[in-house]
């Protein structure tokens, strides 16, 4: 069965997110902001959502320059920052792991106990 292509809006979301994440450590956010605006075209709503969510999620000492610029310079981004912060604080998610699935514990590469009679 052939796979479906991403919708144009989802592809734009991916492109915007990728541009932000590859530029997190920039010292000069102006070219990044310009690139994001050019990518977004007329979809300023999605630009604000992605920029604000990323700013809230990735903000830290090393990423402050870009994150502060995203929040301040992209209209509507500030409203999305709390969602990014919430997602960051939610922690990692996934299926629960049993003790035997953890490296170094029984059932995974451990030594085989000899039979004792």
Report domain extents, the chain. Answer: 8-85
pLDDT of residue 101: 54
What is the reported pTM?
Answer: 0.75
**CB under 8 Å to 21, separation ≥6 — which residues?**
54, 58
Report which DSSP code applies to 95.
-
Q: What is the mean pLDDT of each run of 10 residues along the chain (117 residues)?
A: 84 98 97 98 98 97 98 98 94 69 53 52
Question: Alpha-carbon distance 83 to 104, whole Å?
Answer: 37
pLDDT of residue 50: 98
Give phi and psi for 109, each to the nearest 5.
70, 5
pLDDT of residue 93: 74
pLDDT of residue 103: 60
Greatest extent of the chain over all pairs of C-alpha atoms, in Å: 77
Question: Alpha-carbon distance 62 to 103, whole Å?
Answer: 32
């Amino acid at each position: 069965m052939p796979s479906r292509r991403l919708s144009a809006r989802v592809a734009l979301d991916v492109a915007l997110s990728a541009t932000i994440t590859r530029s997190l450590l920039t010292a000069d956010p102006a070219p990044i902001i310009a690139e994001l605006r050019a990518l977004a075209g007329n979809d300023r709503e999605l630009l604000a959502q992605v920029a604000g969510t990323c700013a809230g999620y990735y903000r830290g000492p090393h990423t402050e320059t870009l994150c502060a610029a995203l929040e301040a310079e992209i209209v509507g981004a500030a409203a999305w920052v709390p969602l990014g912060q919430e997602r960051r604080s939610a922690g990692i998610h996934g299926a629960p792991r049993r003790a035997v699935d953890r490296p170094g514990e029984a059932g995974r590469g451990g030594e085989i106990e000899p039979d004792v009679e």
